[in-house]
């Protein structure tokens, strides 16, 4: 019966060649895809991801998670390790590392997209795995691609304060990072030799001199990246690399300004914290307004007192202004990547520790805020942070009283601490011996 | 010894180190997954993770490749295509990354935090888009003139 045999033939062809459409090799026709292009994009991505990963893990240490109340991921188990207490110098360290984490991450978005475009035929490769090894490796790619997308998406949405994800950012971004880094390390270990070989198969300088007329597909490869039936090129390889590189330059140029002071800040046209507030002493980036955290004039008026817990002392703002005041130019650097340096005047935390009967160098402090809602209503600072002479309970900024949105009547400024540890609207300092 | 290694390779498809590496990768990922469960966020985490696996290949890719095919169909085999593709791609990239600001999706949180409105971002994105297309168009005009004069 010829009809039945024809049916079997079709099923057999499906099994042998894959379902029609993207599973058939003829479907993918771009003449630019190939191991060389994928390797160039992959190695550029790898270089950037190393910076993003290292600065991300450093940011975990910057919160001093061993101090009470500081750890945003209390169930971290083995994944929250860090090797050292966060230092107070150089004062610009967190400004640089966290600025790099966010800006390099943004810069890599076009490279990541191009890399995913360059390997898309592999998603539909038929048969799905030719060996057990290949099957397991492809399963790990689910973690690699998912981890990359998850980390970039949560980070990018978080810096825009677009909290649509149904989980807290901190644990999700930390655990997502470990899943991604595990898969990335294995992917690099398995593929790097092949990537370097592919990179050597063509001369980059020659590729950059080749226009559309001279653009030919790469030689067919066993991985099936090169099209079986390539279409005539509409863009040269150098054109594609310039497209991706231009995208990266644009992402960088429109966001890096939020880590700078002065006129260059205005170049951050598409970054959440590139805004200009005005020219007054308090006209710089606000991270959380007083109104949004339930802090009003009633809490911060003449009846406000700073409580030194344990010592039973209550100080008014006038009392604090009568203490020795010190002035330092120090940056505020936010976990969201933006930063700014301002000139702060206030009382040394070390002097307040002495007033509370404690010896600076051996005591940490837990700082509590008037804020009624939201994260970081309290933060703990290490003995090293308390002892640094530049660590202040600031009362003034740039020569003027702090504005309400910048923490009036008093706020913490600690050199090199993440912004959220510079607690605003301080109501209580609780100095306690630090456990070694 | 050699024959055993060969038999392993034929059965598995790679050396034993390959399996070891991947086992370590899955072990670490599985441990991280237990932390996600302990944090009580695993359902949302899983949904977003699976979404992240497919978002490029099954959502973004069909969108931008369809747009590209349509643009090429309209322009025929005109050499101007890349002068359309590049500014459109870059503008789309900016929108993809910054849509919560540009489309004012995060207005409430942003205003509460920063104290300013997200209103200027749409105009900024549009201005950058216009500048990209204008720059690309200018470059195209200069190239055509260059070609014509060199032919002369």
Q: Which of B47, B34, B99 is nearest to A146 (CA)?
A: B47
User: Shortest Cα distance from A171 to chain B (angstroms)?
Assistant: 7
The pLDDT of residue A3 is 45
For residue A435, is pLDDT > 80? no
Determine if residue A401 is left, alpha or beta; phi over 0 gives left, psi from -120 to 50 gives alpha, anything else beta.
beta
Separation of alpha carbons A332 and A346, rounded Å: 15
- Which carries the bigger pLDDT value, residue A15 or residue B46? B46
Contact list, B28 vs chain A (CB under 8 Å): 178-179, 182
pLDDT of residue B35: 97
Per-residue pLDDT tens for A266-277?
999 999 998 989
> Could you read off the pLDDT of A120-131 as tens digits, one per residue?
999 998 888 999
Asked if residue A259 is part of any domain, the answer here is no
Q: Give pLDDT tens digits for A59-92.
A: 999 999 999 889 888 888 889 878 788 999 999 9
Q: Inform me whether the pLDDT recorded for A420 exceeds 80.
A: yes
Question: Residue A46: CB partners within 8 Å, gap ≥ 6?
Answer: A188
Q: How many helices (H) and strands (E) does chain A have?
A: 12, 10
Residues of A with Cβ-Cβ distance to B105 under 8 angstroms: 162
Which residues of chain B lie closer than 8 angstroms to A183, CB-CB? 25, 29
Q: In this structure, are A152 and A67 located in the same domain?
A: yes
Nearest CA-CA distance, residue A154 and chain B, Å: 9
Other residues' Cβ atoms within 10 Å of the Cβ of residue B7:
10
Tens digits of residue pLDDT in A36-51: 999 999 999 999 999 9
Q: What does pLDDT average to over chain A?
A: 94
Task: Note the pLDDT of residue B3.
Answer: 86
Dist. CA A238–CA B6, nearest whole Å: 43
Give the per-residue pLDDT at A10.
73
Give me the interface pTM, i.e. the ipTM.
0.95
Q: Which residue has the tokens 């993809």?
A: B96
Q: Are residues A332 and A385 in the same domain?
A: yes
What is the per-residue pLDDT across B60-92, written as a single tens digit (0 to 9) for each?
999 999 999 998 888 877 778 999 999 999 999
| Domain shared by A193 and A301, yes or no | no
**Mean pLDDT of all residues in A403-425:** 97
Model confidence at A376, in pLDDT bands (50, 70, 90)?
confident
- Reported confidence tier of residue A1, pLDDT bands at 50, 70, 90: very low
In a domain, A423, yes or no: yes
Residues A233 and A139 placed together within one structural domain of the fold:
yes
**Which tokens is A223 given?**
């991985």
pLDDT of residue A436: 62
**Which pLDDT belongs to residue A8?**
59
pLDDT at residue A224 greater than cutoff 90: no
Pair (A60, A181) in one structural domain: yes
List chain B domain ranges. 1-39, 41-77, 78-152
Q: How many CB atoms lie within 10 A of CB A203?
A: 11
B58–chain A nearest CA distance, Å: 10
Domain boundary among A203, A236, A253: A253
**Confidence tier at A30 by pLDDT (50, 70, 90):** very high
Residue B78 has what pLDDT? 78
pLDDT tens digits, residue range A195-210?
Answer: 999 999 999 999 999 9
Is B106 in Cβ contact with A162 (below 8 Å)?
A: yes
In a shared domain, residues A246 and A296: no
pLDDT grade, residue A7 (50/70/90)? low
Mutate to test the interface with A, among B10, B11, B19, B25 (most CBs of A within 10 A): B25
Task: Give contacts of B19 with chain A, Cβ < 8 Å.
Answer: 133, 136
| 3 state DSSP class of A367 | strand
In a domain, A365, yes or no: yes
In which residue ranges of chain B is pLDDT below 50?
none
Domain finish residue from A253, A278, A313 = A253
* Angle, alpha carbons A327-A332-A337 (nearest 5°): 165
The residue range of the domain holding A320 is 291-433
| Predicted confidence (pLDDT) per residue in A243-271, tens digit | 999 999 999 999 999 999 989 999 999 99
Quick one: closest CA in B to A179, which residue?
B29
Q: Are strands A306-308 and A426-433 parallel, antiparallel or unpaired?
A: parallel
Q: Is residue A300 part of a domain?
A: yes
- Binding-face residues of B in 116-135 toward A, CB within 8 A: 116, 121, 124-125, 128
Between positions 42 and 101 of B, the ones with CB within 8 A of A are: 43-45, 47-53, 55-57, 60-61, 72, 81-82, 85-86, 89-90, 93-94, 96-98, 100-101
Whether residues A238 and A302 fall in one domain: no
């Amino acid at each position: 019966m010829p009809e039945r045999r024809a049916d079997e033939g079709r099923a057999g062809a499906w099994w042998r060649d894959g379902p029609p459409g993207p599973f058939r090799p003829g479907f993918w026709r771009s003449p630019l895809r190939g191991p060389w292009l994928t390797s160039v994009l992959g190695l550029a991505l790898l270089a950037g991801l190393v910076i993003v990963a290292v600065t991300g893990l450093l940011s975990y240490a910057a919160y001093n998670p061993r101090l009470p109340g500081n750890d945003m991921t209390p169930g971290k188990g083995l994944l929250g390790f860090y090797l050292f207490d966060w230092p107070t110098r150089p004062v610009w360290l967190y400004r640089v590392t966290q600025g790099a984490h966010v800006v390099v991450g943004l810069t890599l978005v076009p490279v990541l997209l191009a890399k995913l475009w360059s390997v898309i035929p592999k998603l539909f490769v038929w048969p799905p795995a030719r060996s057990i090894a290949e099957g397991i490796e492809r399963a790990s790619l689910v973690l690699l691609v998912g981890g990359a997308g998850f980390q970039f998406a949560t980070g990018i949405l978080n810096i825009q304060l677009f909290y649509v994800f149904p989980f807290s950012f901190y644990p999700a971004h930390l655990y997502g990072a470990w899943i991604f880094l595990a898969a990335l390390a294995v992917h690099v270990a398995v593929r790097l030799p092949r990537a370097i070989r592919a990179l050597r198969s063509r001369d980059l300088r020659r590729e950059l001199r080749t226009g559309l007329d001279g653009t030919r597909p790469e030689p067919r490869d066993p991985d099936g990246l090169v099209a079986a039936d390539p279409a005539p090129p509409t863009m040269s390889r150098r054109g594609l690399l310039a497209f991706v590189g231009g995208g990266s330059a644009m992402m960088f140029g429109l966001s890096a300004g939020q880590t700078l002071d002065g006129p260059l800040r205005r170049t951050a046209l598409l970054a959440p914290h590139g805004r200009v507030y005005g020219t007054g002493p308090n006209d710089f980036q606000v991270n959380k307004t007083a109104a949004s955290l339930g802090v009003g004039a009633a809490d911060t008026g003449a009846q406000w007192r700073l409580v030194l817990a344990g010592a039973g002392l209550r100080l008014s703002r006038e009392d604090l202004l009568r203490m020795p005041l010190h002035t330092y130019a120090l940056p505020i650097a936010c976990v969201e990547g933006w930063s700014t340096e301002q000139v702060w005047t206030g009382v040394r935390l070390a002097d307040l520790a002495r007033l509370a009967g404690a010896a600076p160098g051996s005591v940490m402090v837990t700082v509590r805020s008037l804020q009624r809602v939201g994260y970081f209503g309290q933060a703990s600072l290490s003995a090293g942070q308390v002892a640094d002479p530049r660590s202040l309970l600031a009362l003034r900024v740039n020569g003027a009283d702090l504005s309400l949105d910048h923490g009036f009547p008093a706020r913490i400024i600690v050199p090199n601490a993440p912004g959220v540890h510079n607690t605003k609207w301080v109501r209580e300092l609780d100095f306690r011996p630090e456990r070694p | 010894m050699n024959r055993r290694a060969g038999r392993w390779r034929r059965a598995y498809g790679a050396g034993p180190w390959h399996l070891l590496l991947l086992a370590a990768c899955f072990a670490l990922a599985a441990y991280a997954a237990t932390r996600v469960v302990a944090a009580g966020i695993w359902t949302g985490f899983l949904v977003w993770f699976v979404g992240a696996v497919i978002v490029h290949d099954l959502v973004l890719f069909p969108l931008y490749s369809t747009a590209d095919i349509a643009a090429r169909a309209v322009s025929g085999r005109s050499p101007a295509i890349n002068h359309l593709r590049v500014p459109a791609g870059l503008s789309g990239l900016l929108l993809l990354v910054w849509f919560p600001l540009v489309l004012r999706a995060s207005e409430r949180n942003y205003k509460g935090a920063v104290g300013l409105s997200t209103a200027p971002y749409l105009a900024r994105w549009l201005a950058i888009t216009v500048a990209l297309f204008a720059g690309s168009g200018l470059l195209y005009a200069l190239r055509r003139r260059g070609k014509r004069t060199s032919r002369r």
